[in-house]
Each structure stands twice: as C-alpha cells, then as structure tokens.
Structure 1
C-alpha cells in the first residue's frame, strides 16, 4: 500500500524529526562509485531505521524484455551478506520481472513508499524461495524516479522483529530526499552493478564441498547431488526433475541429508555452507 505522510499528526511530527549527521552524510558521499557504497548506505539507513538487509535496484523501460522493463541489481547489504546475495541472485534470476509489488509501480513517477504484506503472499515458489527460506517477515520499499528510470531501496526484517512503524516509514521517506541523488550518481558510475556486489569468496557449492571434506561428513551420492542442486538455486521439484527422481524420493534425500548436516531449511543449508566451523 502507498504510505501517506498526512496519515496522522504524529507521523507528520516524526517526519520533521530526522537529523542528518554531516559527517555520516559526507562519508557516504565519499563512497559513491566505490565497492563500499551499498554497504555504507545500509549503515547510514540503519542509524535511524533498523533493517536486517537492504537492497538497491534500478528499473528502466526495455522493449527487448517481455515485461517491458529491465531491472538492474545495484547491490545489497546486511550482516549475512553472502547469504543475502544468494537469495537476491535467485530473486533477480527468477522473480523480479513478475514481483507484484514492483509490477504495480512500473511506469509511475515521483516518490512512492510501499509495504509488502508478506503474510498474504501465495505459498508458491516466490514466497518459499525468497521470503520463507530467508525468514523475511517484513519488507518496505521506497522508490523514486520517472517513467524512464526508477530507483528503489528495499528494507527487510526477519521473523521476530516488529513491523515498520509510521515513524520509521516517515523517516525513510525523508531519508530518500538525501539518498536517491547519491544512488543515481553511484548507479551511473562505471560498473556499478559489479563493484557494488563484489565477488563472494567461493561459490556455495564449492564451500559446501570444502566443509564436507574437512569434517569428513558422509553423504550418499544422491544426498550430495540434491544438496548441490539446492545450493545452485534450484527448488526441490526442479532438482528432482534434473536428477530424474520422483519428487517424494528427492524429498527423502533432502530430509536425510539435512539430518546429517543438522539443518532444517535451504536457508540453513546456505548458512552451513558459508560457515567455517
């Protein structure tokens, strides 16, 4: 839903309460066009609005794309950075063109502030792969631009965290006045997409292989194959089809492999692969 800053007198008062540290803003300006920009952007936003992850993207019309638009992932930030990027890789590869939240704002102009009702999402691959697996319970997005170019900054919170309040939404809208000009400058710098999301050391599959060997964990051939397939971004049904297995058989292999690794979900499998312990 769109957020109206006139919704209440309290929201208007909170809207005026934001103070920007000149030093913090100067530090962020200095990161424009560098690999640290999105991470610094996350730290800047988190000073006023706590989020477990933030994501920056740019959307532009593109007649070559069936959706009519091209979306560029500028970068993400958060404490579990490598794992966040794995989820976003899956999102931009499979879901961004048909994400109903962003479909609804295509072709619009000006600044929009929207919240996603995660609980109301259909329990399909989109919800399971992006929200359930990453334990995302709350998401809000501030988006700014014209019909020809739109920048969006998304903030998400995991399960157990409070919903974004009217005060926080008002602060985010005010922050956008300072942040979007910087986002635009950064996105137009050379190789912004590449430098904003630097290469993670080792792929999930290679990290998985290293830890399996290091800890001498014994998985069957099929258990190992199904784990590698999940770590490559596929769902269990997709993995079953690729490995020419019945879905029930693939699910059994997943259950047995997860029991040996002491994980419960694909997200925990990603965490396990990226943990050196």
Structure 2
C-alpha cells in the first residue's frame, strides 16, 4: 500500500481488525497501545503519547494538560516536560492559534547538548471548543525524519484518529476507571456494545444478519470468511453490507469503519 493512499484505499482486513480494537477500547487503558499497533503497521513509529489540553482562549493560556495514555519504547526518545510556565511548551503557539485540525512536525535538533534527548515528532491536533486533543507520534533521533509521503498519509488518517481520541477523552472525563472484574452487560464484547450504542444514538435499525456481517468485517473478517461462517455465498455477504451501508448513509467497508469512528 502506498503511503500517499487515503484511508479509502486501505483494504487489509488486519487494518480493520486493529481499527475495531481501537474503537472498542476508547476510554480504556489499552487505547494508546491499540493506536500504536494500528499506526506502526502503516508508518513506523516508536511511541505514541495522547493528551488533552484545556485552554483559556481569552487569555491565550493553558489551563490544564491531561495525560490520556501512552505506549511504545522509551529508549532514545525524549518527551517534552511541562515547565512552570506552560506557555513555554513548543506546541503552545500552534495550538493557541489553530482554527481547524492540525499536523505539526518537529524534527530532532542535531545541536542539542544531549543527542539522545531528542526525537522526531508528528503531532495531530483537533479543536473542540476550548479543548485540544493531541496525538504525538515519536521516532528516535537515530532514525530518519518523517517523510512527506508519511506526513500526507498521517494527515489523511487523522480524519479517523482525531474523532476517536475526542471520544476517548470524553469517556475519560465522564466515567470512573474501568474495573476489569466488572461483567460486560449482556456478555457483549466492547466492539459489539459500541456498535449497538451507535445504532441506537443514530436511530438506525439493521437486520440481525446485517449486524452480524458489519461486526464481522469490523473485527477483521474477510468476505469469504464471513460467507463460510454464515453458510452463504460471497455475494450474499456483499449484499448485506450494501444494505447496511445504505441505511448508515455510507459506502462500503471503509465507510462503515469511519462511521464507527464517528468521522
């Protein structure tokens, strides 16, 4: 797959499995790890850091920066520590002045007195009211900088990732920490639960078979695998998907994935 391709051209069943896992774990501790697994297979990265910034836009200042999760290696990676004056943060000016979603590249500085304490960064930022959700991808200084094609691809992927981190941040704000011992209502998987909740919010009714096909594809299944599982022809699976997509107002498998992501 060429890195200049948009998400519409990502046909790998594994990609949709990873995306389904990411969606299902919004609000949970594994969210950052799932995002690392998804992105690293498309654009090599060493680490991901997730944060939510709350701003005082009138005073052009930062009220709070909340850590939403992290995953990956620490070796050869340096992370920006907040100083007593948070407006010293290297992303501050861009984030204060942004009007729409943003991609910010920061390359390692070769003149740093500590060469190990540097890293290449690609930051994806969304804006909702006075909040900014930031996805920071890190690559060690010993590796090459992010290429233009990689940055272009990550910008395209941000249309899916940014709504998901906004969802993750919203859940983290309004729910108690997840208790692993708590039983899942109705024995549903997190992906199934989120899928049915989205259907209810959008007031969309799918048939049982349409739901089964959608969930199977979101979980990484292929059309032949779903056909074999349900003992029907491949064309029948395609028909169920088309019917479901029409009700959801989307087109095809990538449209289904973006609908689940809230994009």
Pick the TM interval, shorter chain: 0.5 to 0.7
- State whether structure 2 residue 167 is matched by structure 1 residue 185: yes
1:102 corresponding residue in structure 2: 92
8 Å contact from structure 1 (residues 53, 78) kept in 2: yes
Cα RMSD (Å): 3.6
Map of 1:129-144 to 2, 5 A cutoff?
132-134=115-117, 136-144=118-126
Distance 1:195 1:65 in 2: 32
Matched residues in 2 for 1:94 and 1:164: separation?
A: 30
Superposed, which structure 2 residues align to 1:112-131 within 5 Å?
112-119=102-109, 123=112
| 132, 141, 164: which one aligns with 1:150 | 132
TM-aligned CA deviation for residue 104 of structure 1:
2.5
Cα deviation digits, residues 159-196 of structure 1 (max 9, x gap): 32111111111111111111111111111124699969
Name stretches of at least 5 consecutive residues in structure 1 with no aligned partner.
Answer: 1-9, 197-277
Matching residue of 2:10 = 19
2:155 to 165, 173, 179: 173
Report the CA distance between 1:16 and its aligned residue.
6.4
| CA distance 1:148–1:66, change in 2 (3 Å) | closer
Unmatched runs of 5 consecutive residues or more in structure 2: 179-263
Partner of 2:81: 91
Match of 2:171, SS state, is coil
101, 122, 133: which is aligned to 1:111?
Answer: 101
Q: Distance in 1 between matches of 2:25 and 2:73?
A: 19
The TM-score, its normalising length taken from structure 1, stands at: 0.52
Question: Closer, same or farther in 2 for the Cα pair 1:23/1:15, shift >3 Å?
Answer: closer
- Offset at residue 66 of structure 1 (A): 8.9
Match of 1:3 in 2: none
Contact 1:14 1:167 in 2 (8 A): no
- Partner SS state of residue 109, structure 1: coil
Aligned to 1:78: 72
Structure 2 length as normaliser, TM-score?
0.55
Superposed displacement of residue 157, structure 1: 1.1
**Stretches of 4+ moved more than 4 A in 1?**
15-18, 63-66, 93-96, 191-196
Q: Distance in 2 between matches of 1:194 and 1:65?
A: 31
Flag the structure with higher helix content.
Answer: 1
Structure 2 CA distance, aligned partners of 1:189 and 1:37?
Answer: 12
